[in-house]
Amino acid sequence: MDSIGFPVLSLLIFIPIFAAVVILFLPREQKDLIRGVAITAAGALCVLGFFIYFSYNAAVTDIANEQAALLSSVNRTDDIEEFNLLSNVSIDETFQTLVNGVGERTGYVGTAMFKSGLAFEERYEWLPALGINYHIAVDGLSVPMVLLTGMVAVAGVLVSWKIEDRTREFMSFFLLLVAGVYGVFVAVDMFLLFFFYELAIFPMYLLIATWGWVKLREYAAMKLTLYILIGSVVALVGVIAMVLVASDFFTNSAAGVALFESAKASGVLESSAQPFSFNMVQLTLAAEGGAFDILNYAGVEGLTFATLWFPFIFIGFAVLAGVFPFHNWSPDGHVAAPTAVSMIHAGVLMKLGAYAALRCGVMLLPEGAQVHLPWIVFLALINVVYGAFIAFRQRDFKYVIGFSSVSHMGLVSLGWATMNLTGMTGAGLQMFSHGAMTALFFGCVGMVYDRAHTRDIPSLGGFMKVMPWVGIAFIVGGFTSMGMPGLSGFIAEFPIFVGMWRASESVSLTIGGLQLSNYYSIMVIIAALGIIITAAYVLRVTGQVFFGEFNRERFPDVDDITTRERFVLILLGAPLIIIGVAPFVMAPMLEAGLRPVLTLLGGA
């Protein structure tokens, strides 16, 4: 997709940074002005997000056709029409047939597909001697996340409108957090990705430690920061090693040198590209060329770089996605955080981990993914079922949603582990659906808590009578959470389970002398328990909090929500219905972003 020649993505990054700096220079007494600057910046980001989304969506059919042509040229077939997004033929089966025809790696079709799917691309030299550049773009996987971030940013500022304690600092740190999130989703340079990844963590710590729940905030903020930092450092070491191996491949291997020069000549890489680089397109080329699959890595017979480093990189990032057993920071972080921070934490920040795990782990180390995802999937299954059970046992309104997030993020990891287009598309839909849903949930919880001053579920009741908008919004979110047809949760979860079932015959796991096969289908049945438990706790919480008799004597200050808060509920609730009814507004886009990953996996 051609760029429009305007730095749209840079605006996404620098508008919140600029607004955060401006806010810090405003008098702290001018709280309305501070809020006005914050909502103006967030609103601009949301508008840009919609522009990027609809622009990319308009080009997605052309991108799919170009990807089909690239695959078709490798397979020496002219039958591109069957791959068309508007065809009635199963896209997953057609695509998988084409990928399987690639066989052993032939050229760099997967890299070319990844490159062709990038849009709004910007590239400037930053530290060329170190292989680091300011290189940003979006593809079919990141565009929905960019849209989601803008929506949650607007919702977060509006929900925080009544914060009186150091309003200036709160809004400034919140916008810095948003800038870091955007940076990760648009980065095409691995160093830049890590730079923004860390930028997103430190404002989170300050927001929780300063404005969070007094009883838990310091503990939760430190716990969150340590878990995520340790995971990201482990992943960073693996990525640096990856860059070094790729550089050696492009410099000292005859096949690597030829591949590198051919990619430059064809325009897949820039003509000025150097072998040592953090460029994600270049690392994808190295992965496709087999740089990370060379045997006897580090002098160990039969070992490859991909099989050694994949679990460290994938799980290092997946810590932020709440993968078991490194999930325990997440519920405490949700509960301790102020409402807006909980919304962006669960709605967007956890998606950074899942996104980076796919982008840096599965896409760049496909052989490692095929070796390790068949056992990592057990961790995801524990997430789904264990998280749902623990959510069911909670009395604290916020803890229910916190553990629910752990459970639903496990479904994303299940989708990645299918390694097929159906399951991975479901995982992409789940990231967006869960992001909007859980932000809506935490918004509802915050609105109830601000008025009732308690989150103890048995102490509440009858709130539908005084806060009907919140009750209806929570029910919509609850139905989405339990996978009710007609809502985005069903559209996301069903493809994940179908993808798992389809992958069952092709995935096996060897443990010593024991070989497991066809076990994905069993895991689907077990994971379905998570849906049943989810329905149980959603119905229990809805009944106890929103129905029954309302105690006016106990909650004399509880009244209906403001127009501003109603807008937040509509903004976050509408996508759950729209995607549930019309999944075609997002699914083809995600498929375009995932096909390059599947091509690399198919040729691994």
- Domain ranges (residues) in the chain: 8-58+123-602
Residues of the chain with pLDDT under 70: 1-5, 73-107, 603-604
Q: Quick count: other Cβ atoms within 10 Å of Cβ 125?
A: 11
The Cα–Cα gap between 125 and 235 comes to 24
| pLDDT (0 to 100) of residue 87 | 37
| pLDDT (0 to 100) of residue 91 | 43
Rg (CA), the chain: 23
Q: Are strands 514-517 and 119-127 parallel, antiparallel or unpaired?
A: unpaired
Helix (H) or strand (E) holding 300: none
| pLDDT (0 to 100) of residue 4 | 61
**HSE (side-chain half, CA atoms, 13 Å) at 487:** 20
Please name which of 85, 175, 185, 184 lies closest in space to residue 144, comparing C-alpha atoms: 185
Whole-model pTM: value is 0.89
**Which amino acid is present at 463?**
F
The Cα–Cα gap between 24 and 37 comes to 11
The Cα–Cα gap between 231 and 412 comes to 18
Phi, psi angles (nearest 5°) of residue 551: -95, 95
